[in-house]
């Protein structure tokens, strides 16, 4: 590794430490580098000072450092989000629940109709029951997606606040 790459890696790890933590070997490597490299040690100190003051008073930061820190931290967060397939899984789950609903609707309709005929359930009641059964998976999917959205707005709020 050339000198520059070493410092780049050290600074990348310093940012990463704030977001997702480091593995034991990365931590050891970084600690060793910080011991022998003044400029990276300085960067680490400034990063933690910057992040601390970002959480309290968002002024009086060394020029440019706030943006740099924010940029690295933001990039890291974005990288992590891109790798997170949870949203896609949710959409797939919602899709499957709809497809299952469509596929089984005739059978469930017949089941509800049978209940109406043989168990003496009034027509309006079993028809409503069918309607509800039909809506439940969609409702659950909607609630999950909405709460996911809530959480993301929360994150965005936090990011905006710390700017
Ligand atoms: Zn260095």
Residues 109 and 62 in one domain: no
Cα(158) to centroid of ligand 1, in Å?
A: 30
Residues 127 and 143 in one domain: yes
Domain count, the chain: 2
**Beta carbons within 10 angstroms of residue 47's beta carbon:** 20
Residues 156 and 105 in one domain: yes
Cα(41) to centroid of ligand 1, in Å?
A: 7
**Beta carbons within 10 angstroms of residue 75's beta carbon:** 13
Residues 101 and 73 in one domain: no
Residues 63 and 110 in one domain: no
Q: Which of 23, 51, 83 is the last residue of a domain?
A: 83
Distance CA 132, CA 101 (A): 11
Q: Which of 39, 55, 83 is the last residue of a domain?
A: 83
Residues 74 and 14 in one domain: yes
Biggest alpha carbon distance in the chain? 84
Cα(61) to centroid of ligand 1, in Å?
A: 22
What pTM does this model have? Answer: 0.35
pLDDT digits (tens, 9 = 90+) for 86-110: 666 667 776 776 677 667 777 777 7
Residue 38 has pLDDT above 80, yes or no: yes
Residues 132 and 117 in one domain: yes
DSSP secondary structure of 50-111:
HHHHHHS---SPPTTHHHHHHHHHHHHHHHHHHH--HHHHHHHHHHHHHHHHHHHHHHHHHH
Burial class (CB in 10 A: 0-12, 13-18, 19+), 147: exposed
Q: Who surrounds ion ligand 1 at CB < 5 A?
A: 7, 10, 37, 40
Q: What domain range is 109 assigned to?
A: 86-161
pLDDT digits (tens, 9 = 90+) for 39-95: 999 999 988 887 776 666 555 555 566 566 666 666 666 666 665 666 666 677 767
Residues 71 and 17 in one domain: yes
Distance CA 15, CA 106 (A): 56
């Amino acid at each position: 590794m050339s000198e520059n790459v070493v410092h780049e890696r050290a600074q990348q790890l310093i940012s990463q430490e704030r977001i997702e933590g480091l593995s034991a070997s990365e931590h050891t490597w970084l600690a060793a580098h910080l011991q022998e490299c003044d400029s990276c040690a300085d960067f680490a100190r400034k990063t933690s000072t910057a992040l601390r003051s970002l959480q309290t008073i968002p002024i009086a930061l060394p020029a440019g450092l706030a943006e740099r820190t924010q940029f690295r931290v933001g990039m890291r967060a974005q990288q992590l989000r891109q790798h997170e397939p949870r949203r896609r899984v949710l959409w797939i789950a919602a899709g499957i629940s709809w497809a299952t609903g469509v596929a089984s609707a005739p059978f469930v309709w017949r089941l509800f109709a049978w209940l109406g005929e043989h168990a003496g359930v009034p027509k309006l009641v079993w028809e409503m029951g069918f309607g509800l059964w039909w809506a439940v998976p969609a409702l659950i999917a909607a609630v999950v997606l909405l709460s996911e959205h809530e959480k993301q707005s929360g994150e965005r709020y936090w990011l905006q606040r710390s700017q």
